[in-house]
Structure 1
């Protein structure tokens, strides 16, 4: 099985094994390619670890026995509508998501978590609640708890099931890399 570290090394993004500076994000073709490759690797890891290649909307799997060493990293697959949490090279969890709907697409690339708030309300969208918000850019894109209807339905954010969002919030920190691939 090809590891996430190998995928990042092959793409020249191996430096992301440690948190990246909270003031930068990479939306370059190389970063998009690395994020897409990481999503492919994560899908393979999910099948190997959890024995499945799909989840019902709003569901997630979490390996409570996964090791606690290694820097956290989040991989999001827009095509599969799944998010994966790694610690080092080890897949810890996978969850369904709801990303940006057509015309409000979720950006692809590599983003560090820039800000975290346990309870945030949107300044753009009618004060909408965004529990366990983890901001990825300066324009309002974030990971947060929200409705997971089984298709792309957000205005660009990555919505997560509430219980998964809470656990993920505890695992990450400002600077944790989030790789978003098609």
Structure 2
């Protein structure tokens, strides 16, 4: 009986609305506010060019050869660690608080397996990581940032995109970086 009443009421409301000269309006809903990453600058895009400027200011002209890196003499003890990866320049930057503390050459994903762009967070860390997809390949100082297994880790660094999507780093840089980050560390990938 109640079902019949519900259908009758629904039909009556539909008939009433159909006979109205004005159709019901859609209510505009504002989009949600952008997610704040609380990076050193108000970056929505442009993190990599700013990181490059910061690196030149700290270390001088960047003439890094594949597999090289620079690390600040003093690293702030406090502050959140953030990472910026520049696929175009094949460079990896790390901040502590609002201070750049390191820059390294990187090898991102090759054509057809490009490292994904965007805003990420470290999801999993392992000193001795291994690839689930590629024959258990070693991934020292692995820091995974997506659900598919893409990570940054120590590995061959030829100076151009050569990985299956991960970001390879010089071994000693990856080791130092591992000591600064934690699960939740923010990662920006541009280029």
| SS in structure 2 at match of 1:66 | coil
1:67 is aligned to 76
2:137 is aligned to 128
What's the RMSD between the two structures over aligned residues?
1.4
Separation in 1 of the partners of 2:171 and 2:72?
17
Kindly provide the CA deviation profile for residues 18-57 of structure 1, in whole angstroms up to 9, marking residues without a partner as x. Answer: 8xxxxxxxxxxxxxx82x4110100111111100133110
Q: Does 1:142 align with 2:163?
A: no
Contact 2:127–2:142 (Cα < 8 Å) also in 1: yes
The TM-score normalised by the length of structure 2 is 0.78
Contact 1:17–1:88 (Cα < 8 Å) also in 2: no
Structure 1 unaligned regions, length at least 5: 1-11, 19-32
Contact 1:106–1:157 (Cα < 8 Å) also in 2: yes
2:177 is aligned to 168
Contact 2:76–2:97 (Cα < 8 Å) also in 1: no
2:51 is aligned to 42
Q: Which moved more, 1:127-136 or 1:48-57?
A: 48-57
Separation in 1 of the partners of 2:53 and 2:188?
16
Q: Which moved more, 1:144-153 or 1:45-54?
A: 45-54
1:52 is aligned to 61
The TM-score normalised by the length of structure 1 is 0.81
How far does residue 103 in structure 1 lie from its aligned partner after superposition?
A: 0.3
How far does residue 145 in structure 1 lie from its aligned partner after superposition?
A: 0.5
Kindly provide the CA deviation profile for residues 46-85 of structure 1, in whole angstroms up to 9, marking residues without a partner as x. Answer: 1111001331100000013132221100000011100111
Q: Does 1:177 align with 2:186?
A: yes
Higher Cα Rg: structure 1 or 2? 2
Higher relative contact order (CA 8 A, sep 6+): 1
Kindly provide the CA deviation profile for residues 161-180 of structure 1, in whole angstroms up to 9, marking residues without a partner as x. Answer: 01100110110000000100
